[in-house]
Structure 1
């Protein structure tokens, strides 16, 4: 199996794992349970499997393409979530997901890889992780939207997506160093070990923040995570790794249009569901208690 096929297969399997983990997390949050127990353990296991497959995909494929394939997580999670809730995916959810995925894929595929492979050194990787962690922590502490579930979900989801995206960048950077020098890379640059630790911290933080985001519902939270993750990684590619845009100014314009479409998709998914569109009650189920208005 050549590297391209292996990367594609790993990226697709990773999306399946991440989608299933997201649904498990959302159901844990919707039930008002603490992040413990069977569903949470399942989500952790699936996240770990997804991260491992994602690392394989990054090792043998382009960061931009692998991140674009990760957008399939949203497409896979929506029908799974609807099936478990014994309902159909609403047309609005499909529209929002389609806009988010198509816009994101358009944006990322307009990004051209650098002419020569370059990896950030250990110090640069650690600094990148520290800046991301500080920004994400600030975002989760903002009072803006604290009393509205959708806005709060967007804040935590954006922080989670940024953490996951930078963790991917660190994973790819570490993989390049290991492929070139083996374990001796850590001897030449001890900061790579610190960067490896930062990768784990960011991945765990992303898991915790995404769990908080899912309290506002699956669609908007997962769309925001799915969008923020590759956007942050793509910014690293453009600003630090020498990536550009295919087709010059035309490619840049198409990329911006893709970003706007993806953002529109998140807005569509964030709209409250009208009362007439609620799912049918399951026979024998107890009626839910009235929701408290924000």
Structure 2
């Protein structure tokens, strides 16, 4: 078994645990209080909620598996496979709420699975560097920083679905960035604890994880899940993959015909992910 196969298996395990954690977090965000609360107040209340901590523990196992997968494979490979977390979340959420998965959902799930397989096999993603220079990260900050600030201001001024979408974009971007930083942190583990503690990516990694979690819960509360869940699910792999290419120098290696197939598969993955997320979110809203 080569390194890419090991990375794929670990990423599938990560997708399963992250899916379970997300299902628990979604329920916690809506059950922790019936009162309208701000983002900070919501996060502090969730920190006192046992169900939320259960979800966080399960998600932590998923993140550990994701980190292990990034130690063997590229961000492009791991992020593509992590999209399948929706395939796990679909039956788990349906089971918890005592309902059946619809034919519509299974159809989009099959399309999603097929597109991921095509991207991984036809795209043949290759690993790049594990870490980037300070100059490269400065350019990323110059681009990503104003975009996040604009989303934050918009979410503050607006309400309802639009606010949920903007917060979802912020959370998805953070988790995409988290994947790239994780690869840098994993790369330093073999150098010992002291060297790891001197690694800037470690502290950025912890900050990004905290912000991603806080904005995720705020997005769940800001509006219906039909606005927040599709946004986060689509933005995370897109941001992670773009940063994998731009920051770490990862590449896709299809032939000329493969590029056409890859483009179609990527479009299907985005559409299927959004359709599944909206379908799951709509069902959740109907149950409330």
TM-score, normalised relative to structure 1: 0.75
Relative to structure 1, is the Cα distance of residues 59 and 108 closer, same or farther in structure 2, using a 3 angstrom cutoff?
same
Does residue 167 (structure 1) correspond to residue 178 (structure 2)? The answer is: yes
Relative to structure 1, is the Cα distance of residues 94 and 58 closer, same or farther in structure 2, using a 3 angstrom cutoff?
same
- In structure 1, how many angstroms separate the alpha carbons of the residues matched to 2:184 and 2:224? 33
Deviation at 1:27, TM superposition (A): 0.8
- Which has more helix, going by share of residues? 2
Does residue 252 (structure 1) correspond to residue 259 (structure 2)? The answer is: yes
Deviation at 1:194, TM superposition (A): 2.3
Tell me the equivalent position of 2:203. 197
What SS does the aligned partner of 2:187 have? helix
- In structure 2, how many angstroms separate the alpha carbons of the residues matched to 1:155 and 1:143? 6
Structure 1, 221-230 or 139-148: larger mean CA deviation = 139-148
Tell me the equivalent position of 1:24. 24
Give the counterpart of 2:278 among 270, 274, 286: 270
Does residue 42 (structure 1) correspond to residue 54 (structure 2)? The answer is: yes
Higher-Rg structure is 1
Deviations 1:151-175 (A, max 9, x none): 4433322222221111111111232
TM-score, normalised relative to structure 2: 0.76
Quote the RMSD (CA, aligned, Å).
Answer: 3.5
Deviations 1:171-191 (A, max 9, x none): 112323444x5557569xx5x
- In structure 1, how many angstroms separate the alpha carbons of the residues matched to 2:265 and 2:156? 27
- In structure 1, how many angstroms separate the alpha carbons of the residues matched to 2:159 and 2:229? 20
Tell me the equivalent position of 1:58. 70
8 Å CA contact 1:11–1:57 kept in 2: the answer is yes
Relative to structure 1, is the Cα distance of residues 220 and 252 closer, same or farther in structure 2, using a 3 angstrom cutoff?
farther
Deviation at 1:41, TM superposition (A): 0.9
- The aligned length equals 271
- In structure 2, how many angstroms separate the alpha carbons of the residues matched to 1:97 and 1:145? 36
Tell me the equivalent position of 1:7. 7
